[in-house]
Amino acid sequence: MKPDPTSTNRSADERRASILAALAGAGRVEVNELAESLAVAEETIRRDLRTLEDDGLLRRAHGGAISVADPVADLDRVTVPEPAAHPVATLAATLLPERGILFIDAGPIAEALSVCVPNSAALQVVTTSIPVALVASRNAELSVYNLGGTVDPVDDSQSGQWARESLEHVRLDLAFISVSGLTPSGQLLAASPQAAIVKRAAMDAATTVVLIADHNHLEAFGLVKFARLDEVDHLVVDTGVSEAVLALAAEAGVPVLLANTNETEFAL
């Protein structure tokens, strides 16, 4: 027997009324909770949220929806501005897969890269950077996981036991790692022991590792060694990089992608 179109439409109207009632009471609703309470698939709820957003009745957010007059959401848009574009991030974005689980490290390049991640339900982002998480989670279809931990006020990154233990239990397809420095022998450096542990754990969890850096991040600065250059699958850096670093990458067999503000070049 074919379903009664009138009954189907009435059920959709009732669902959407229930969604709006829940939103009015809480200011935010979650897709998984609505699907459970209304006994429908999560994709059905997502369609309802899209319809209600098109009608101007709510605003979709990561994992659910918020009131169109939500003052917290408005504050987030003011206090977490769009990161400035960065040529290294733009070039690194060409390595983004169509589907999979990504780790995006902290820092300006990582934040710029988070803008480039497609709004796709086939991608998931894992990060220890508060700005990266907030920017990426503006994409309603994208799943974003912030690992938590002790916050570094310099770059709003998180580290410590919580972050490390979380990374020990995840699988990553691609990790974008930032560094504080590179030694002449090819050792990657982090600014602190806490940051080094998290970067190492992300690399260990990832199938592919991409190092993203300005050329001045590849000088011999940084306190703690956490990996070798030959453990990296790609190096993305600007054209100010030194010949010594390019020689190290060539010796390690690491492909280098060079970017500047005028044009993009591929080397090695």
Q: Are residues 13 and 136 in the same domain?
A: no
Q: Are residues 158 and 239 in the same domain?
A: yes
Q: Are residues 102 and 174 in the same domain?
A: yes
Domain boundary (47, 77, 107) is at: 77
Q: Which CATH number characterizes residue 236's domain?
A: 3.40.50.1360
Domain boundary (77, 109, 131) is at: 77
Q: What is the pLDDT along the chain (268 residues), one digit of tens a residue?
A: 444 444 444 588 889 988 988 887 677 888 988 988 899 999 999 999 999 988 888 888 778 888 775 444 443 443 456 788 999 999 999 999 999 999 999 999 999 999 999 999 999 999 999 999 999 988 989 999 999 888 887 888 888 888 888 899 999 999 999 999 999 999 999 999 999 999 999 999 999 999 999 999 998 789 999 999 999 999 999 999 999 999 999 999 999 999 985 644 444 4
Q: Which CATH number characterizes residue 73's domain?
A: 1.10.10.10
- Identify the domain containing residue 46 by its residue range: 5-77
Q: Are residues 18 and 125 in the same domain?
A: no
Domain boundary (21, 56, 77) is at: 77
The CB-based long-range contact list for 258-265 (8 Å cut-off, 24+ gap) reads 258/91, 259/87, 259/88, 259/90, 259/91, 260/87, 261/87, 264/87, 264/90, 264/91, 265/239
Q: Are residues 186 and 121 in the same domain?
A: yes
- 242: helix, strand or coil: coil
Question: What is the tens place of the pLDDT at every residue in 101-121?
Answer: 999 999 999 999 999 999 999
Helices (H), the chain: 5-26, 31-38, 42-54, 71-79, 87-92, 108-116, 130-136, 161-167, 193-205, 243-252
